[in-house]
Structure 1
Amino acid sequence: MGRIKRLCMLFIIAVVLSLPGIAGCRDDKEPESDLILATTTSTLDSGLLDVLLPVFEKEYGLKVKVIAVGSGQAMQMGRKGDADVLLVHSPREEEKFVEEGWGVKRHPVMHNRFILIGPEENSARIADGDDIITALKKIEKTKSLFVSRADKSGTHVREMALWEEAGIKPEGSWYLETGQGMGETLMIADEKGAYTLTDESTYLSFRNKGRIELKVWIEEDARLFNSYSVIAVNEKKHPHINKEGAAKFIAFITGPEGQKIIQEFGVKEYGKPLFVPDAFYKK
């Protein structure tokens, strides 16, 4: 009977230890993320987060889970309470997000610019001195291939605003919609020899690695200013969000340490920063 009792006890212990929530049961699993960051794809594709996050995680002892999507999708995640903090670049939508109470406050972080890129052959015959509106009109007139993200991202929102200013409703076989992030859209545009609107940081990263060969056609235009902000999701809407972790991330990325990393990112590789800091150095 003693042997049977011991076997029964061992069986019971094994069952108990296998139950969810028991100490030690996650030894073979990845640690759960302490902070969920929903961000635009350009901050990931450019490599910026690969430099920023390790410093933040080490300093604050937090693990960050990055979900890179378009800015529109990132804010939708915030509305659902699926993210703690957002790093996005769609100002009008950000203002609405905060006004509706989903976000606490917009904090400026950095900026760069959008650029219009396309094939060396330049079928649209874009000329030096053309502005972005003139270039888009030429693309539509010549029915030159144009690839759009079509994903409600900050880049897509800006693209559609530019088409509207040009008085054009883009549609037809010359206008291709990917529904993908910036990196994927760049690859498709390059493969098809098409024009597209992109943030400069992702373009330089992909071009420098030899992944695309498209040329910059329009870059100097005030309409192409591209600003990024960080926003904490409102705990009053979603009490479960990591308020403290979001506050720490905002303090870091808008503070001297995070802003210095942003200011120096890309300088060695490209001869200039891929993003210009907008927070600490403007105080």
Structure 2
Amino acid sequence: MKKIICLLMVLSMVLMLLAGCGQPEADLYVPEDLAESPLFLALVNGFNETQSRELVVESLPAAQLMDRLESGEFPSAFFLMTPEAEAALSTQEVTINEIFYDPVYIIGPREDRIGLSQLGEYSADQVLKHIILTKSPFVHAASLTNLRKKEVLFWEQNGITPDPALYLEADPAEDGILKTAADHNGYAVVERYVYERYKDQYPTLTLLQDQCQGLVDRFCMVVQGTDTDSLAVQFASWMMDTPGQDIIYFYGMEEYGVSRYLPSIH
């Protein structure tokens, strides 16, 4: 009887191992919101069409993915890079490839009374600080977007509390930031695609800064430094080559008239 029980236990363990083998290990880990992005899905599908084996992608909650990144318990990951993640990865043997980014502009009145267009060599936080200290109206997004969060962080880091009378919440429409800035002769940070789509409707506004260091969302692929030939590494190389960069460049072109994102390699 004992032999039969032992045999059954061994058989059960073997079956469990075989079942586990049926679930392929992920080649790439991504946060849940990115996994549902049409652009990311288009990149994965485009890459898979060139391969004999499909790239296996697993999505994780953003916090869990960051924990795994910081501990090094992952083969490869693709995500929106943050200063915290970059700092955590700086002590690890990894390769960080920037694939595409979400460009933003600083816009304002054409007369540019505070000389913002002359501050191109300054970081975004210093430019924003200049707007606030010159008592100029500044328009922020109606919702707590990543961009709005960065603005708030800049105020905190610089010990600045914007004057509520000059710190204006944008109209909630897609072109709301431009509309509110035009109505109040103010300044704002706005996504490139929004400005390019609606700029002709707001002739009193103009582009003042297009190199907004510290405000741009960067989407990066991270692989272990010793990894040189995995499918994830091939995916990163493909995205940085013409086929992947073309998908990125033309994404959103039909809807917005301009690229929704820009490829990091031009």
**TM bin (shorter chain):** 0.5 to 0.7
CA shift for structure 1 position 260: 1.4
| 8 Å CA contact 1:17, 1:25 repeated in 2 | no
CA shift for structure 1 position 79: 1.4
CA shift for structure 1 position 246: 2.8
Match of 2:251 in 1: 265
Match of 1:250 in 2: 236
Structure 1 residues 254 and 87, CA gap change in structure 2 (3 angstroms): farther
Q: Which SS does the other structure have where 1:111 is aligned?
A: strand
CA shift for structure 1 position 263: 1.4
Match of 1:22 in 2: 18
Unaligned runs of 5+ in 1: 1-7, 118-125, 176-188, 208-216
Match of 2:150 in 1: 158
Q: What TM-score does the superposition give when structure 1 sets the normalisation length?
A: 0.52
Match of 2:97 in 1: 107
CA shift for structure 1 position 64: 1.5
Confirm or deny that 1:79 pairs with 2:70: yes
Q: Distance in 2 between matches of 1:229 and 1:54?
A: 18
CA shift for structure 1 position 267: 1.1
Structure 1 residues 156 and 270, CA gap change in structure 2 (3 angstroms): closer
Q: Distance in 2 between matches of 1:198 and 1:69?
A: 25
Structure 1 residues 199 and 44, CA gap change in structure 2 (3 angstroms): farther
Q: What TM-score does the superposition give when structure 2 sets the normalisation length?
A: 0.55
For residues 215-240 of structure 1, the C-alpha deviation after alignment (integer angstroms, 9 at most, x for no partner) is xx99753463525253434367xxxx
CA shift for structure 1 position 254: 1.2
Q: Which SS does the other structure have where 2:103 is aligned?
A: strand
| 8 Å CA contact 2:27, 2:231 repeated in 1 | yes
CA shift for structure 1 position 244: 1.5
Q: Distance in 1 between matches of 2:24 and 2:190?
A: 34
Q: Which SS does the other structure have where 1:59 is aligned?
A: coil
Q: Distance in 1 between matches of 2:236 and 2:29?
A: 11
Q: Report the identity percentage.
A: 18
CA shift for structure 1 position 80: 2.8
**One-letter code aligned to 1:87:** F
CA shift for structure 1 position 247: 1.2
Aligned with residue 51 of structure 1, among 39, 42, 49 = 42
| 8 Å CA contact 2:105, 2:190 repeated in 1 | yes
Q: Distance in 1 between matches of 2:138 and 2:251?
A: 38
Q: Distance in 2 between matches of 1:106 and 1:20?
A: 36
Within-5 A mapping of 1:1-283? 16=12, 19-22=15-18, 31-39=23-31, 41=33, 47-60=38-51, 61=53, 62-67=55-60, 69=62, 74-83=65-74, 84-90=76-82, 92-93=83-84, 95-101=86-92, 104-114=94-104, 133=128, 147-148=143-144, 155=147, 158-164=150-156, 167-169=159-161, 220-222=208-210, 224=212, 226=216, 228-234=218-224, 244-279=230-265, 281=266
| 8 Å CA contact 1:230, 1:250 repeated in 2 | no
Alignment: residue pair count: 219
CA shift for structure 1 position 259: 1.0
**One-letter code aligned to 1:277:** P
Q: What's the C-alpha RMSD, in Å, of the aligned pairs?
A: 5.2
Q: Distance in 2 between matches of 1:200 and 1:255?
A: 23
